[in-house]
Amino acid sequence: MRQVDNFIRGEFVAARDGKRFDKVSPVTGKVIASIAEAGRSDVNEAVLAAKAALSGEWATFTTNQRVEMLYEVADEITRRFEDFVEAEMADTGQPSHVMRHVFIPRGAANFKIFADTIKNVPTESFMLDTPDGAGALNYGVRTPKGVIGVISPWNAPFMLMTWKVGPALACGNTVVVKPSEETPLTSVLLGEVMNKVGVPKGVYNVVNGFGPDSAGAFLTEHKDVDAITFTGETRTGTAIMKAAAEGTRDVSFEMGGKNAGIVFADCDFDKAIEGISRSAFLNSGQVCLGTERVYVERPIFDKFVSALKEKAEAVNYGRPEDAGVNYGPLISKEHQNKVLSYYNKAVQEGATVVTGGGVPDVPEALKGGNWIQPTIWTGLSDDATVVREEIFGPCCHIRPFDTEEEVVNLANDTEYGLATTIWTSNLPRAHRMAANIDVGICWVNSWFLRDLRTAFGGSKQSGIGREGGVHSLEFYTELRNVCIKL
């Protein structure tokens, strides 16, 4: 069985107390690896290694040298592309084409995009008049924030981890990564890449484990962690924020969502169906930006429900490496049970089940996996549980609407504010609505289309702060003002 250890100071090391936990395949339910669980002393060692690296060889790197090294990291990821695809498929169970065309390429791109950003974005400067007429020059200098604690999720583990590690290293910080206990493989594999290209020891560290009373808590509570970046559910974010209050550490959070998809009668119908089916069912619905509430203008409501039903029933279950497979399992048995409990709750509250609602029939070899059917409901009230609470599964409730004002109010009637997608051919209406829906990102006639230079984050319970492009630099650096009297 594969043995996966922590990565500290450039070395793969087991936990000092010898604790380990099993990594279970979401596809089959079988144990595929044994993972070292970092204790408090292991996390402390990783943080101290990161802190020491801040004043070691890494501190002597110029911006151009960091840029060149991050390009080498990206190139080495690309060279080992198949290794990363295999590891990510083993961790998540999601189809090969998703790994090959989205998650792994984006993971590599994250290093290059932020290398380019740090190289090309200027700081501000001002000339100040002084009483003697000589003047003064003010300019900004960016310095690394320090040791960054990176808490990454399990739904797109490599892409979302490198989304944080890329800009952190570009800005000269060091990192300690705590991947989800469900998806540890690619974070540790990246350690091999760091060693291969010569990243100084201690700059990149990985500690495996769980949240409370484990590596996650030990990392976020550590006094020498200078800032924490986190993607995950809102309750966990709340706990991390409480820990970060000790020492007044900075945080960047991208958390839960209950995202709305809005479809007008004047949309390109086929494109809207394709877009909403992706946003509801991609990655088995385990996408923070996914659509769980769908609002369809009444004249096309019945036609839309019927067409989306066909999409949901056309998925192909199977092993991620198999040809033709376009749909994977949920990440864990625990999460499968959680999503199924919502499926049951929807029926109890009076939903019409358009399709799905349970566990599909899969081949015998896969029956131990965490499979679940894409599910569509109609007929629920706006205060129904599955309309209010984030499920994080392949499901959506579809409701008709009649006016623009009505649907804006419906979209905003949630404690979350991460994303929305609007489908219409009326461009002025699209602009109006985008300005009035309380979300961090609003797509029009598209979904999951990202320019990595733009701001990304959520409002309300969906997050704190923005990352992407120059906005990442704001979080991962301290901006110092220098004032020189002339």
Residues assigned a catalytic role: 254, 288
> How many other β-carbons are positioned within 10 Å of the β-carbon of residue 388?
15
Give the Å distances, CA to CA, from 379 to 296, 305, 398, 423: 13, 12, 8, 22
DSSP-derived pairing of the beta strands 20-24 and 31-36:
antiparallel
Task: Give the whole-angstrom CA distance, residue 389 versus residue 415.
Answer: 9
Give the Å distances, CA to CA, from 234 to 170, 280, 338: 28, 20, 16
CA-based nearest residue to 404, from 431, 375, 385: 431
Task: Give the whole-angstrom CA distance, residue 141 versus residue 478.
Answer: 8
Beta strands, E only, 265-328: 291-297
Asked if residues 84 and 161 have their Cβ atoms less than 8 Å apart, the reply is no
Give the Å distances, CA to CA, from 287 to 156, 211, 282, 436: 8, 20, 7, 23
| 356 φ/ψ sector (left φ>0, alpha ψ -120 to 50, else beta) | left
Task: Give the whole-angstrom CA distance, residue 81 versus residue 69.
Answer: 18
- Residues linked to residue 137 through DSSP beta bridges, in sequence order: 127, 484
The amino acid occupying position 44 is: N
